[in-house]
Amino acid sequence: LMEKLAERDVWGLSIKGEVAFDWSKVIGRSRDVAGKLNKGVEYLLKKNKIEYIVGSAKITAPRKGDGPQATPCQIAIHDCKVTEERTDAPAEPAAKPRETITATNVLVATGSVARDLPFARFDNDRIWGAREAMFNKDQPKSLIVIGAGAIGMEFGYFYMNYGTKVTVVELLDRVLPVEDHDVSKELEKIYKKSGMDFRLGFTATSVEKTKSGVKVTIAPFKDGKADDAKKETLEADRVLLAIGVKGRFDGLFDPSLGLETVKDHIKTDYQPGKTTSEAIDYKTNLNGIYAVGDVIGPPWLAHVAMEEAITCVERLAWRKDPKAHHEPIPIDYSVIPGCTYCNPQVASVGFTEQALIAKGLKKGTDYEVGKYPFQSHGKAIASLHQKGFVKIIRGLPRGEILGAHIIGDQATELIAEMTLARRLEATSEELIVTMHAHPTMHEAVHEAALGSEGRMIHM
């Protein structure tokens, strides 16, 4: 909205006086929306007669045995003080449990918590995690963001648009490192023009709190270590750590149970690289205990967590009574849309071009690329959304969709078509012969598909 107001002259609009905002209302609306969504979930639980208990849980015993004679899992419930504004201490359970409940199966879906640094611990003041960035009551004049992944770029964009001076520090040589290189370069170019500063290929080596803010020392990162001879110091009101997450399960399991973990996440039978032909139960090494979502590791996406939970529960129901329930189709982890909610939006599915090259594939022999810029697109021109492009990678010789990468307006909506195409093993030709309404942003997908076959019309 702030960007649209800045474009008011183009639309023939005039506003008397200065465009201003109330920071407390900006943050307040965000929290109000989150609150409404939470209440919506509570309503659905009640509607479906699902009991929910407010408190902190500790699993004290797994299920012993199977079948009717099995001893169920034991879960102690503690009263709990929750401080949702803080990344470092979101919950403080009481020492003694108020009750113990039992269950044949337990599904852990406790999510993740932001990682901090040994020399920079979250303090709910000047050293932020994502929660402080969402809840803070005073807008900083300057902000250093450490990490240029999705979280770092989303918050960096948000604060920049409200007038905060933003500097992004990233260990690797580009923003959004998991995205296609073309997308990373485009977003960096756009944000540099908007005033965002970048220190790419740098690592933070220290964070010092000052009287009014923070000092962050950074150094070039080469050969796996910091080059301290070329270090420099940045200063800002606040620093946001956006360097990744870890599973949130501290205190959830009695230490004597011997829960197996891997890289700060709960270990299950899910392993990266499994395909649709391989069924996954999401079981841990403890009998009757299952886990899904961020708590078991990447890709740390809400829509993945939801699908994993549905699949896990449906498999439990199917195993209990195969006649009453069907066996669910396993998740295909090669067809997961990834979305970054900055502006322009970023979305992708499948392989990046760099991943294909790393596999030994060659352009022109093993794959082709179609890349259509929104600056040539009618709907984008009319709506002032000319930044970005659609990039489609098709395999040779069949024409299957190997990957799709979009940066631009509505990218997080447009990616659904490409996700479905990849799931159904559609070809670029099938995308081309599918009629796309005019004028729509979806026509850009059609043009990129044409481009992958050297048949682009509107450019």
pLDDT > 90? residue 16: no
pLDDT > 70? residue 89: no
DSSP designation for 255: G
**CATH C-level class of 127-243:** alpha beta
Number of other residues whose CB lies within 10 A of the CB of residue 194: 12
pLDDT > 80? residue 433: yes
**Confidence (pLDDT) at 118:** 96
pLDDT > 80? residue 5: no
Whether domain 338-452 has CATH 3.30.390.30: the reply is yes
pLDDT > 80? residue 115: yes
How many residues does this entry show for the chain?
A: 459
DSSP designation for 98: S
pLDDT > 90? residue 354: yes
Q: Which of 303, 326, 438, 458 is catalytic?
A: 438
- Cis peptide, bond prior to residue 118, ω within 30 of zero: no
pLDDT > 70? residue 88: no
In the numeric block, the tokens 């740098």 are attached to: 202
Virtual CA dihedral for 447, 452, 453, 457, nearest 10 degrees? 30
The pLDDT tens digits of the residues spanning 27-74 come to: 999 999 999 999 999 999 999 999 999 999 999 999 999 988 899 999
Largest interatomic CA distance in the chain: 76
53-111+246-320 and 338-452, same CATH topology: no
Percent of the chain at pLDDT > 90 equals: 87
Task: With H, G, I as helix, E, B as strand and everything else as coil, classify residue 130.
Answer: helix
In angstroms, rounded to a whole number, what is the distance separating the alpha carbons of residues 176 and 160? 17
What CATH topology corresponds to 53-111+246-320?
FAD/NAD(P)-binding domain (3.50.50)
Helices 150-161 and 181-193 pack at an angle, to 10 degrees, of 20
Which of 252, 290, 299 lies closest to 93 in space, CA to CA?
A: 252
Q: What is the mean pLDDT of the chain?
A: 94
Query: Is the C-alpha dihedral spanning 244, 250, 256, 259 positive or negative?
Result: negative
Where exactly are the structural domains of the chain? 1-51, 53-111+246-320, 127-243, 338-452
The pLDDT tens digits of the residues spanning 301-321 come to: 999 999 999 999 999 999 999
In angstroms, rounded to a whole number, what is the distance separating the alpha carbons of residues 379 and 215? 45
Answering whether pTM is above 0.85, one says yes
pLDDT > 90? residue 83: no
Over range 372-377, report the average pLDDT: 97
Please, which residues bridge with residue 103 across strands? 73
Residue 294 near residue 112 (C-beta atoms within 8 A): yes
The pLDDT tens digits of the residues spanning 188-200 come to: 999 999 999 999 9
Q: What spatial distance separates the first Cα and last Cα of the chain, rounded to whole Å?
A: 30
As a three-state string, the secondary structure of 199-241 is EECEEEEEEEECCCCEEEEEEEEECCEECHHHCEEEEECEEEE
Query: For residue 340, what are the CA distances in angstroms to 129, 352, 357?
Result: 18, 16, 24
The pLDDT tens digits of the residues spanning 227-276 come to: 999 999 999 999 999 999 999 999 999 999 999 999 999 999 998 766 66
Residue 79 near residue 98 (C-beta atoms within 8 A): yes
Regarding predicted confidence, which is higher, 94 or 341?
341
Residue 164 near residue 239 (C-beta atoms within 8 A): no
Residue 369 near residue 317 (C-beta atoms within 8 A): no
Alpha helices per DSSP H over 321-384: 353-358, 378-382
Burial pattern 79-113, b for ≥16 Cβ within 10 A else e, equals: eeeeeeebbbebbebeeebeeeeeeebbbbbbebb
**Confidence (pLDDT) at 101:** 97
What is the chain's percent helix, strand, coil content, to nearest 5?
A: 30, 25, 45
**Confidence (pLDDT) at 201:** 98
**Confidence (pLDDT) at 94:** 87
At residue 435's C-alpha, the angle toward residues 434 and 441, to 5°, is 110
Return the half-sphere exposure (C-beta side, CA atoms, 13 A cut-off) of residue 219.
14
- Cis peptide, bond prior to residue 397, ω within 30 of zero: yes
In angstroms, rounded to a whole number, what is the distance separating the alpha carbons of residues 125 and 128? 7
265 assigned to active site = no
**Confidence (pLDDT) at 276:** 64
Number of other residues whose CB lies within 10 A of the CB of residue 237: 18
